[in-house]
Structure 1
Amino acid sequence: MFPSLSTSIRGGVRARVGGRAARLLSSRPHSSLTHEMGRADRRLDKVKAEVDAVIALARSTSSRRREVEGRREVKQERHDEKEEARVLLSDLRTDHAGEYGAVAIYEGALPFVKSAAAKAFVKEHIDNERQHLRYFTHLLPPAERTSLLPLWKLAGWTLGALPSLISDRALFITIDAVESFVEEHYNEQINPLKKSGKYPAIRKLLEECCEDEVHHRDDARLRHSSPSSSPPPSPLLQGIEATWRAIVGGGSKGAVTLSRWM
């Protein structure tokens, strides 16, 4: 059975707030914690209901549209609703693929990071990415997921391992580049939902996931750009890093495009 949203939240909170606060959370009265868990489960149920509605509408698009267009009786408003659902479903498919790949990045990095601080960074953020992946795995049935997950697992693992073999700084720059793209990708989904007012539970989940990804990016950026963390790179190294960031961003964009349709 898929872990409840509340279970994931409790695990994520403990990972973020540290030992003392986690112990305080664990010591909360059982009735209070149970009530909080129930609210979280109901919230996930709302997201699931909206996703199921999107899937039902998007699935009806192809066959239904061919039938109606064949009779030249297309109703534009209904057509637009179905097209919006189809686009949103493809977005959710890419979100699942992205979180799947993100977990693989940190799994690839973990055996090779150089310092205790970098290892702590990886362990903190991989817990959060696993939480995101649990959400999307629960929300999207297997038939709606990309068939390229084995490829993204290999690509993600490699993307985490290679820079970690070079230096902690290389890993942080890679995470910065990945999460910069992810923030943009999430906002491309969130902004139309804000404008239309549709699927508010889905939008809220996307906003919270995006907020987490921005935190990952900012944490990585602080670690590789802080003067106290490493000396300023040479002009040659700056050029190499800029090229690498462009490669990572372009690869992420290509992965999203493929995951929409395969």
Structure 2
Amino acid sequence: MPPSCEKSLMRIMPPMPPLRSHTRLPLYHDFLLTAVVASSRRCISTGARQSDAPTETYEATRLKSLNPRPRKPLTKEQRDFLSSALRVNQTGELAATLIYTAQTPPLVNAHPHLRPLMAHMYDQEAGHLKTFNSLITKHRVRPTALYPLWSLMATGLGWSTAIMGREAAMACTEAVETEIGEHYNNQIRSLLEMFEQWEAEGYEVGTEFRDLISTLRRIRDEELEHLDHAIEHDAKEARPYWLLTSLIRAGCRGAIWTSERV
């Protein structure tokens, strides 16, 4: 090409930029690469933290299981309270089964429709008695020394109120269950106060004590169910209602007080 033509061509065409090495990424690729690397680092870091989290939780749980909270030994007063509670509860449930046993024949003969109700209440009381028989045996609690006396009095109360009529028999149930329900409430309240004190001091409340609370609540609720049945079947129509229920309730309180101690 003539020199004049070459010069003309150079004036028309802009100069070409210097060639980059094929191994070097363009500038915008460099920018994206930086972002991708940073994102990858964040992902790796996050993944590491997530994988460590279960390990920390497991380790904390393992240490906690190796160092459980201690359990506070019972004081003499607390042991005496629990022993008297189990003793009087067993006595009360024995009396209840004997009352229903004595009431059922004359009451069902006169009012056959009451047979299912009497059987239902008796079965529940028998279950309560079985529970407390098991507990006093397990914990080696001495039963009341007045077992024969309470048995005789409960049988006499059941038979005499049934002879007086359906309303008197139901009034007897109402009076007895009113006192028994209040008695169980007092026991539950005392135990809950004891447990709250232990937990405030950093002690563990054992499963056995929590099971005892659940048992007392269940039995109390069933006793109060009997109270409702008695009222539904005209307990308040008994004559003389006030005198009859007052005497029975006073007798129950006396039996509870005595059985806690003897």
TM range (shorter): 0.5 to 0.7
1:220 equivalenced with 2:235 (yes/no): no
Identity of aligned residues (%): 26
Consecutive unaligned residues in structure 1, runs of 5 or more: 1-76, 227-231
Correspondence for 1:82: 76
SS at match of 2:233: helix
2:106 aligned residue:
112
CA 1:225–1:169 in 2, change beyond 3 Å: closer, same or farther? closer
Flag the structure with larger Rg. Answer: 2
- How far the C-alpha of 1:218 sits from its partner, in A, is 0.6
Structure 1 counterpart SS, 2:178: helix
Q: Is the 8 A contact 2:175 2:245 kept in 1?
A: yes
Partner residue of 1:23?
Answer: none
Q: What is the CA–CA distance in structure 1 between the aligned matches of 2:212 and 2:80, rounded to whole Å?
A: 15
Counterpart contact for 1:118–1:168, Cα < 8 Å: no
Q: Which moved more, 1:203-212 or 1:80-89?
A: 80-89
| CA–CA separation in structure 2 for the residues paired with 1:254 and 1:214 | 20
For residues 152-206 of structure 1, what are the alpha-carbon distances to aligned partners after superposition, in whole Å with 9 as ceiling and x for unaligned?
1111111111111111111011100100000000001001212222521111111
Q: Deviations over 1:29-75 (max 9, x none)?
A: xxxxxxxxxxxxxxxxxxxxxxxxxxxxxxxxxxxxxxxxxxxxxxx
The secondary structure found in structure 2 opposite 1:85 is: helix
Distance across 1 between alignment mates of 2:183 and 2:83: 14
Where do 1:140-151 residues align within 5 Å?
A: 140-141=136-137, 144-151=142-149
- Equivalent residues of 1:177, 1:248 under 8 A apart: yes
- Scaled by the length of structure 1, the TM-score of the pair is 0.63
> Runs of 4 or more off by more than 3 Å in structure 1?
none
- 2:102·2:155 contact (CA, 8 Å) conserved in 1? yes
Residue identity matched to 2:118: V
1:181 corresponds, among 174, 179, 182, to 179
SS at match of 2:117: helix
Deviation for aligned residue 1:143: 5.3
Q: Would you say the 8 A contact 2:99–2:154 is kept in 1?
A: yes
Please tell me the root mean square deviation across aligned C-alpha atoms, in Å.
2.0
The reply on whether 1:127 has 2:123 as its aligned counterpart is yes
Are 1:246 and 2:246 counterparts? yes
Q: Which has the higher contact order (CA 8 A, sep 6+)?
A: 2
Give the paired residue count: 175
Alignment of 1:1-262 (within 5 A): 81-113=75-107, 114-141=110-137, 144-197=142-195, 199-224=209-234, 237=239, 240-262=240-262
TM-score, structure 2 as length reference: 0.63
Letter in 2 for 1:195: E
1:11-36 deviation line (CA, Å, top 9, x unaligned): xxxxxxxxxxxxxxxxxxxxxxxxxx
Question: Is contact 1:88-1:189 (8 Å) kept?
Answer: no
Q: Which amino acid aligns with 2:157?
A: L
Tell me by how many angstroms 1:216 deviates: 0.6
In 2, the alpha carbon distance for the partners of 1:173 and 1:202 equals 30
SS of equivalent to 1:111:
helix
Indicate if the aligned counterparts of 2:170 and 2:235 stay in contact, CA closer than 8 A. no
Shift of 1:151: 1.4
